Amino acid sequence: MKSKRHFQFDYISITMTIGILLYLAVLVLPLLLSFFYSFTNFNLLNATNSFIGFKNYVSMLNDDTFLSTLRFTIETTIIVTLLTNVLGLIIALALNQAGPFYTVLRTVFFIPQVLSSVVIGFIWSGMLNSERGLVNTLLRQVGLIGTDGNISWLGTPNLATLSVIVVCIWQMVGFCTVVYLAALQGVPQDLKDAANVDGANSWQTFYNVTFPLLSPGVTVNVVMLLIMMFKLYDIIQVMTATGPAGSTESLAYYVTRMAFTVNRVGYASAMAVILFIFIAMISAGLGKFLRSREIEY
């Protein structure tokens, strides 16, 4: 072996260098540029762009739209993460059995994971259409609303938010289910048997034995869902855009609108930096916390 510090012209080092340079050019350098833009008033309509320090960051605090998109993002993120995890766990527990019947059911829950958010958004827009959508048609048939009743699912602020939440859960629950199923298969049967012998009922066995051993799955699902939801963009773009009275505008959507439609590049960059910091904090901080609580056997 030659000295390790010496750069060798072999296949690995050359291919690696090209790959890293590409990554630096496409991702790292633009990331740094975005940080830089965030301290300028870069705007395609301005003749001159100048350095304005933290002004963009201060303006966010006085920007009602920014605050409401932030609130919408945090609220939906928390609700969807919690509900998707609970439902995913329940479904995983119910479907954690061998046989073709359960395999088919598991597959149904996983299929949304394979579809694009655009397709999911359009399917649900069709379902939720107030005149002809399936949801209102079914509600009329059951008699919950009058025969000419129209619930405007995507046209009323609260209902539009609710609809987005339901669609996100529908899309992501298969992911949680699969991860929990894998975690459940890792729980040794003899531990559960031991609990039964000691007289634990099935709830006690679940709560004291199974659930603590699922903690690696909890970490993955919570962190993954939080990151996905913080980036929420596609579904919003397809289903509601900003929504009635701006009620369903997510932070990622607002950043995109400001950057590419309104062309306030400096301001959009500053918000993108905030979004990035949120996501980095979640993955690093919360991930570490949850991992420290994981139990191994």
188-207 binders of another protein (CB under 8 A) = none
Q: Does position 213 bind another protein by CB under 8 A?
A: no
- CA 206 centroid distance within chain: 28
Minimum CB distance to another protein, residue 287 (Å):
9
Interface pick for another protein out of 15, 50, 201, 202 (rule CB under 8 A): 15
Q: Does position 279 bind another protein by CB under 8 A?
A: yes
Q: What is the DSSP string of 49-77?
A: --B-TTHHHHHHHT-HHHHHHHHHHHHHH
The stretch among 75-83, 117-125, 148-156, 192-200 that binds another protein (CB under 8 A) is 117-125
Interface pick for another protein out of 2, 3, 6, 11 (rule CB under 8 A): 11
Scan residues 139-198 and list those touching another protein (CB under 8 A).
170, 175, 178-179, 182-183
For residue 144, count CB atoms less than 10 angstroms from its CB and return exposed for 0-12, middle for 13-18, buried for 19 or more.
exposed
Element (H, E) at 105: helix 100-110
For the packed helices 251-260 and 64-95, what is the interaxial angle rounded to 10 degrees? 130
Please report, for residues 55, 162, 203, 230, the alpha-carbon distance to residue 76 in angstroms, rounded to integers and kept in the order given.
28, 9, 30, 9
The stretch among 5-13, 66-74, 75-83, 150-158 that binds another protein (CB under 8 A) is 5-13
Minimum CB distance to another protein, residue 114 (Å):
5
- Which CB sits closer to another protein, 217 or 243? 217
Minimum CB distance to another protein, residue 171 (Å):
11
Q: Does position 6 bind another protein by CB under 8 A?
A: no
Residues contacting residue 293 through CB under 8 Å, at least 6 positions apart = 215
Scan residues 222-261 and list those touching another protein (CB under 8 A).
224, 227, 230-231, 233-234, 237-238, 252, 255-256, 259-260
d(CA 78, CA 83): 9
Minimum CB distance to another protein, residue 195 (Å):
19
Minimum CB distance to another protein, residue 269 (Å):
5
Q: Does position 13 bind another protein by CB under 8 A?
A: yes
Q: Does position 115 bind another protein by CB under 8 A?
A: yes
Least Cα distance to 137 among 146, 285, 94 occurs for 146
Phi and psi at 51, nearest 5°, equal: -75, 125
Q: Report helix, strand or coil for 40.
A: strand
What binding mask, one character per residue, do residues 38-77 give for another protein by CB under 8 A, x or -? ----------------------------------------
